[in-house]
Amino acid sequence: MRVRLDISYDGTDFRGFAENAGVVTVGGELRAAIERVLGGPVALTCAGRTDAGVHARGQVVTFDVPDRAVGAEARVDVHRLRRSLNSMLGPSIVVRSVAEVADDFDARFSATWRSYRYTVLRAEVPDPFLGRTTWWVPDPLDLDVMQSGAAALVGEHDFASFCRRPTPDASLVRRVFHAQWVPGADEQLHFEVVASSFCHQMVRSFVGTLVDAGRGRERCADMAAVLAARDRAAAGNIAPPHGLCLWEVGYGDADPVAPSVRGSRSG
């Protein structure tokens, strides 16, 4: 029996999703809780291995239920599993839904797109109630310049200027379906980006470079030139992790949808 979890978490106090010896991670805490409930070892696969301090609204995880947890005819009670996990892990990690899925469904490899939202707080003073989830930027920002730069990211490109290359021969070509800045409430500004997949620190590099452009740093203003350089040194600063949230993961024939578009449809 293969199970899919849709989870949300505040990543502030975790060293990312992936398990790492000696530190607290989302995946480590989640796996330990599942094993306590089911009484056997499990191996988790996630849709996106978020870094330390990064949050998630729509992370997806799959795992196979150990044989000892179910009999020949029995199935795991998904409602009980969700209640038990939320009792142990909430409120920092919340299981939004639990479902049995086909044996060939994989949280990572079955995904066709992922969306992220990065939130900037444009204000003269910081907000203590938003400090864990927004990047406070007190400087004036030219939103038109930032929107123009975001538009240049759409399409299939080699994003070497914005990614940490894992190995010398690894491809950093990705397809971005959507990228734009959306004004939010309480002086917040959201950068929304949807792509087939993302390489390491790609979204935070986008945001840092676009904010540098909005601040008037000329070398970051021509995003097409930054892309063409295929050189990490051509991009701007990397935005801090706490403003970033993995928003949604798409599967099958689901059309790539930006967070604000999804919100307007559901509202």
pLDDT digits (tens, 9 = 90+) for 102-149: 999 999 999 999 999 999 999 999 999 999 999 999 999 999 999 999
- With bands split at pLDDT 50, 70 and 90, how would you rate the model's confidence at 262? low
- With bands split at pLDDT 50, 70 and 90, how would you rate the model's confidence at 9? very high
Residue 49 and residue 60 in contact, taking contact as beta carbons nearer than 8 Å: no
C-alpha dihedral, 31 to 36 to 38 to 41, nearest 10°: 50
pLDDT at 247 over 80: yes
Shared domain for 253 and 134, answered yes or no, is yes
Question: Looking at per-residue confidence, does 266 or 178 come out higher?
Answer: 178
Mean pLDDT of 205-231: 91
pLDDT at 101 over 50: yes
Shared domain for 80 and 119, answered yes or no, is no
Catalytic site residue from 51, 106, 158, 222: 51
Domain that holds residue 146: 112-262
Can you give the CATH number for the domain in which 250 is found? 3.30.70.660
Chain segment 17-71, per-residue pLDDT in tens:
999 999 999 999 999 999 999 999 999 999 999 999 999 999 999 999 987 655 5
Shared domain for 152 and 67, answered yes or no, is no
Domain final position from 34, 66, 101: 101
pLDDT of residue 75: 75
Does 267 map to a domain? no
Shared domain for 117 and 248, answered yes or no, is yes
pLDDT at 206 over 80: yes
pLDDT at 73 over 50: no
What's the domain count of the chain?
2
pLDDT of residue 70: 55
Least confident of 159-168, 233-242, 248-257: 159-168
Distance CA 116, CA 259 (A): 8
Q: Which of 175, 204, 45, 49 is nearest to 112 (CA)?
A: 175
Domain final position from 56, 73, 101: 101
Shared domain for 121 and 90, answered yes or no, is no
Q: Cα(first)–Cα(last) distance of the chain, in Å? A: 35
Sign of CA dihedral 83, 13, 193, 184: positive
- With bands split at pLDDT 50, 70 and 90, how would you rate the model's confidence at 266? very low
Shared domain for 136 and 97, answered yes or no, is no
Q: What is the mean pLDDT of the chain?
A: 92
- Would the pTM of this model clear 0.85, i.e. be above it? yes
Shared domain for 129 and 185, answered yes or no, is yes
Mean pLDDT of 218-242: 90
The burial class, CB within 10 Å (0-12 / 13-18 / 19+), for 1 is: middle
51 is catalytic: yes
Mean pLDDT of 213-219: 88
Domain final position from 53, 77, 101: 101
